[in-house]
Amino acid sequence: MKRSFFFALAVVAVVALGAPTAAQAESDDYTPTNPATPTLAGSTAVGVCDNDAPWIYYDVTLIDPDSQATSNEAQLVLTDGTNTAAIPLGTLVDGSLSGRVLWPGASVNAAGEATGWPGWAFENGEWVEVPGNFAWTRGAITATLEVNPSLVVPLSYPPSTPECVTSPSNPSTASLPATGLSAAMGPIAVVGAAALAGGVFLVFRRRAARR
């Protein structure tokens, strides 16, 4: 009886002494989990010509599984190393935001038709290139989407095509900054008037010859 009692007591003592050691071993093996860093990976900003106007189409996605981001306001920052332009995009909803904004220096009328382009001004009845009005954005620029975090994205001024022009340099497609005839209509009207006058002259001449 005494032998069984002392044996049981010994087992209890061993277990009691071993428990802290095991707990300590588990504590030594524990590695804390660091919160995931928020990212804008996969977000884009693209220059697009639409109705002869330069636009920036954007799609911003915030990946933030541990809620580490400190802002939901998105902006696009353009710089050439000397000049900088910050374009507000809006507030992310459920971590996402998409849409489009006019390129800096561009403008459109109520119908969405282009009435202005960066680096151009309408002076003395004609379009002329100027160093102002965000002309630098048509060159080599760096574009950064910023929410906190931020992401550098490839972006460049959309080039003109036969279907869509992003400058008034082509007289056949340039528009006036206000409502009225396009720049191309002037020469066409002159040619048409001349042709009409010539036709009328020939008709009267033939009638005179018949008499």
Assigned domain for 162 exists: yes
* Count of structural domains, the chain: 1
Find the mean pLDDT for residues 65-82: 94
Cα 18 from Cα 25, distance rounded (Å): 11
Assigned domain for 4 exists: no
Assigned domain for 38 exists: no
Assigned domain for 96 exists: yes
Assigned domain for 22 exists: no
Q: Which domain holds residue 133?
A: 44-186
Assigned domain for 92 exists: yes
pLDDT in tens, 166-207: 999 644 444 555 433 333 334 433 334 444 344 434 433 444
Cα 205 from Cα 171, distance rounded (Å): 37
Return the SS3 of 7. Answer: helix
**pLDDT bracket for residue 34 (50, 70, 90):** confident
pLDDT in tens, 39-51: 999 999 999 999 9
Return the SS3 of 151. Answer: strand
Assigned domain for 180 exists: yes
Assigned domain for 208 exists: no
Would you tell me how many other CB atoms lie within 10 Å of the CB of residue 116? 19
